[in-house]
Structure 1
Amino acid sequence: MKKMESIAIQNDTDNQIISEEEIMTGQSKSPFIEANTKEVSLDYLKKDCIIPTFKDLECTLAHHEFIQTTEECVKSIFEGQQITKPVIRASHKVLGRIPSAIDKPVKALLENEKTQYFERMMFKIDVPSINEIINGNSLNLSIIAVRAYNQENLYSNKNYEKFKIGIGFLNFVCTNMCLSSDGVVEELRASSVKELKSKITGVLSSYEIQNHLNNLKLLSRYYLTEKQFAKFLGRCRMYYYLSKVERKQVPSLLLNDGQINAVTKGYYEDENFSRNSDGTISLWCLYNLLTGSVKSSYIDTFLSRNVNAYELVNELGISMKNNIPNWFLDN
């Protein structure tokens, strides 16, 4: 099995499992995704949530199986590194009741007569001993994964199930995820735990850490003027009114109006990534304003919007470096 190359190793422990709190001391503990999610524990998913089935009554791969399988893969690939316990957030709780309580009023239901599961679940596992400093921000390697039952056809017989997984870096200044298309698979299909484990291992093994970091570092070298930033915001507003033909000719944009509003506000008010005194803003700061706004996404759209933020800003950097026209900046 291919082992991931380590960089900036702070500790060389034997698969030391550490808690989120231990690496967040003195840092903001804001969640890596917000929206309507709540934090849940692995035990809660295992003991207090039912497992949805397909039409043929075959079980889906449960949330806790996905989490535990990913954790095993992370321990194997990053053997000897510090690894945190999974931080899990879930949303869209689906409630039900057992058959014997079918005629009971809601107020009369006992706890053991209720059933529940979460339609959408997301978790991350950090590897804090693999880290880098970019523009004064501490970034730790992080694995993030998504399961969304709303993207499964539970009314059919059991087939391949869909999962999403990404590997990139967590910016601990703001708990923003830094992901690229090279480190994210938005439709990983598997029908068993064994197959899921094999495919997760493949994703983690093929990720090129240094290449991603080098691209992130380049963002701090380029700046938008206040007018260019205003043009960027204006074009973001215009994007969704382009014809289908016109959209295909420009870089894609997945952020909504509310998220663009958050970027605008951050330009003036963000504690870490706001404009400079002369109105300029680095692409690194713009990128973090974009990834910060993505935290308001629903779980099932988080990864795609996060990757889109990277691709959008990376395209700006390439156009500025090579003096190539870019629709979001040009007249």
Structure 2
Amino acid sequence: MELIANHNPIEMIQDASKVSNRPISSFIEANTQKVTLEHLKNDCVIPVFSKDNESTISHYQFIDKAQEVVQKLFPDMEIKQPNIRVSHVIKGRIPSAVGKPAKELLPHEKTIYYERCAFLIELPSVKEIVNGNELNLSIGGVRSYNQENLYSKKSLEKFKVFIGFKNRVCTNLCISTDGFSNDIRIGSILDMEQRMEQLFQGYDKERHIGAMKRLSNYKLSERQFAHFIGKLRMYPHMDKMEQREVFPVALNDSQISNVVKEYYVGQNFSRETDGSINLWNLYNMFTEANKSSYIDNNLERNVNAFELVNNMGISMENNTSNWLLSN
């Protein structure tokens, strides 16, 4: 084929004013709810490792430490308050409310924490323009208690942290491999500062921006796009050995269907009048579809979207074979 260059947590919250109204668009959606840092600090209990009753690192501690590191590394920059999304509420009650019907529980008798939490801190003064879209430097992370063995003794706890950009047009995240760490393991929150600083200082912003800008130089025809979508849908059904020989695809089938829908009716990144679509728009259709991913696998899929589309751009630039585009 010729390549052409060119669950509902609101009811458990004791003070409804601490939950923000859902915006038109967020950096992650799925089944998440936006909450405040104050709510996480004051209204949520902290899970423990059951065999030794040692405390886990709370969502509040994680986000608060990230704020501290950002302020340290970017002292003269405008830094927005964290945008926090949570999901999978875990409900409980205080001992004196044992046996009491749920509908009769008073606010102070309820306990709550969230199994999964994601946050985003924007630095709006650090901005770039890519294909006419304004991107703001952003830092964030994810914590999922479902990835910890809370039935054991205290062990190193897992966190995910990233630095990249948020597209202001659609709030899509733009994250590359060197700006993402999906397996930070620490024993205390004091260990987090060093790990964050290493990631943030090692991030090559100019290289990332350059790669995203190059995406708009290449495009797929309508026929190539259809062929590409077909290959994406073939990937989950391929033999495991075959999958290891090609570039991996992280989006699921329903998300790929959303990419096709956006190709036709998307407000910001749909096809051109001749049916073609450039790789920057294709990439943003991927990251838009990824917003439906749960917190615990959202960042990995976001990074995969960039690497997959960027890999296609490199193939087009160098006129090399790519299984997603070849016949």
TM-score of the aligned structures, taking structure 1 as reference length:
0.91
Aligned counterparts of 1:265 and 1:304: Cα–Cα separation in 2:
23
| Deviation (angstroms), 1:29 | 4.8
Do residues 128 (structure 1) and 124 (structure 2) align? yes
Q: In the alignment, which residue of structure 2 is the partner of 1:87?
A: 83
Cα deviation code 1:108-141 (max 9, x no counterpart):
2221111110000000000111111011000010
Q: In the alignment, which residue of structure 1 is the partner of 2:112?
A: 116
Q: In the alignment, which residue of structure 1 is the partner of 2:29?
A: 34
Q: Which runs of 5+ in 2 are unaligned?
A: 1-22
TM-score of the aligned structures, taking structure 2 as reference length:
0.92
Do residues 156 (structure 1) and 152 (structure 2) align? yes
Q: In the alignment, which residue of structure 1 is the partner of 2:235?
A: 239
| Deviation (angstroms), 1:152 | 0.5
Cα deviation code 1:54-105 (max 9, x no counterpart):
1211110110000000001011111201111101010000001112211111
What amino acid is the match of 1:96?
A: G
Q: In the alignment, which residue of structure 1 is the partner of 2:138?
A: 142
Aligned counterparts of 2:184 and 2:24: Cα–Cα separation in 1:
30
What SS is found at the alignment partner of 1:103? coil
Give the alignment partner of residue 100 of structure 1, picking from 96, 100, 110: 96
Aligned counterparts of 1:92 and 1:138: Cα–Cα separation in 2:
33
Aligned counterparts of 1:212 and 1:76: Cα–Cα separation in 2:
23
Aligned counterparts of 2:105 and 2:25: Cα–Cα separation in 1:
35
What SS is found at the alignment partner of 2:108? helix
Q: Which runs of 5+ in 1 are unaligned?
A: 1-27
Aligned counterparts of 1:73 and 1:201: Cα–Cα separation in 2:
7
Q: In the alignment, which residue of structure 2 is the partner of 1:11?
A: none
Identity of aligned residues (%): 52
Give the alignment partner of residue 253 of structure 1, picking from 249, 253, 259: 249
Once the two structures are superposed, the pairs formed by residues 320-331 of structure 1 within 5 Å of their partners are: 320-331=316-327
Aligned counterparts of 1:86 and 1:161: Cα–Cα separation in 2:
22
* C-alpha RMSD of matched pairs (Å): 0.9
What amino acid is the match of 1:250?
A: V
Once the two structures are superposed, the pairs formed by residues 197-216 of structure 1 within 5 Å of their partners are: 197-216=193-212
Aligned counterparts of 2:24 and 2:79: Cα–Cα separation in 1:
18
What SS is found at the alignment partner of 2:292? coil
Aligned counterparts of 1:174 and 1:235: Cα–Cα separation in 2:
27
Aligned counterparts of 1:295 and 1:197: Cα–Cα separation in 2:
28
Q: In the alignment, which residue of structure 2 is the partner of 1:277?
A: 273
How many residue pairs match? The answer is 304
Aligned counterparts of 2:204 and 2:158: Cα–Cα separation in 1:
24
What SS is found at the alignment partner of 1:30? coil
